[in-house]
């Protein structure tokens, strides 16, 4: 389980970690702020953050004694890209949508 996608998906497999990401979508936050909504200890949160950081889903900074976390969604793009391969299996309008996206691509160039 050393590959990138596995690390990303298993980071996302935990509801606490997904909730942390949701919170971070609203802006940077310190460890204590992130811990506040949960009924688990700070060390537990600290390790969740380490998992998210390891997956590249957050980056961390230090300001005085506070360690701030910041959302980095690039891994989500990778995970989404992997799933896109299966889009035709669920999306009836895939062909149409695909055409639109292709058009958009062409517009850009």
Partner DNA sequence: AAGGTCTTTAACCGATCAGTTAAGTAACGA
Partner DNA sequence: TCGTTACTTAACTGATCGGTTAAAGACCTT
Residues in touch with a second copy (CB under 8 A): 1, 3, 5-6, 9-10, 12-15, 18, 21-22, 25, 71-74, 76-77, 79-80, 82-87, 89-91, 93, 96-97, 100-101, 104, 108
**Contact between residue 72 and residue 59 where contact means Cβ atoms under 8 Å apart:** yes
Q: Are 4 and 78 in contact (CB under 8 A)?
A: yes
Q: Are 88 and 94 in contact (CB under 8 A)?
A: yes
Residue of the chain from 25, 26, 64, 104 that contacts DNA (CB under 7 A): 64
Among 9, 18, 56, 67, binds DNA (CB under 7 A): 67
In a 13 Å sphere around the CA of 69, the CA atoms on its Cβ side amount to 30
Q: Pick the closer one to DNA by CB: 50 or 100.
A: 50
The span from the CA of 26 to the CA of 17, in Å, is: 15
**Site for DNA, residues 8 to 47, rule: CB under 7 A:** 10, 13-14, 16, 30-33, 39-47
Closest to 20 measured CA to CA, from 6, 38, 41: 38
**Footprint on this chain of DNA (rule: CB under 7 A):** 10, 13-14, 16, 30-33, 39-51, 60, 62, 64-68
């Amino acid at each position: 389980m050393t590959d990138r996608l596995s690390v990303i998906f298993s980071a996302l497999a935990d509801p606490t970690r997904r909730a942390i990401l949701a919170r971070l979508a609203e802006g940077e936050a310190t460890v204590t702020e992130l811990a506040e909504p949960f009924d688990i200890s700070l060390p537990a949160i600290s390790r969740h953050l380490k998992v998210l950081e390891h997956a590249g889903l957050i980056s961390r900074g230090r300001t005085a004694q506070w360690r701030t976390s910041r959302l980095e969604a690039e891994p989500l793009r990778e995970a989404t890209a992997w799933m896109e391969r299966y889009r035709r299996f669920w999306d009836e309008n895939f062909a149409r949508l695909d055409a639109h996206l292709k058009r958009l691509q062409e517009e850009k160039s």
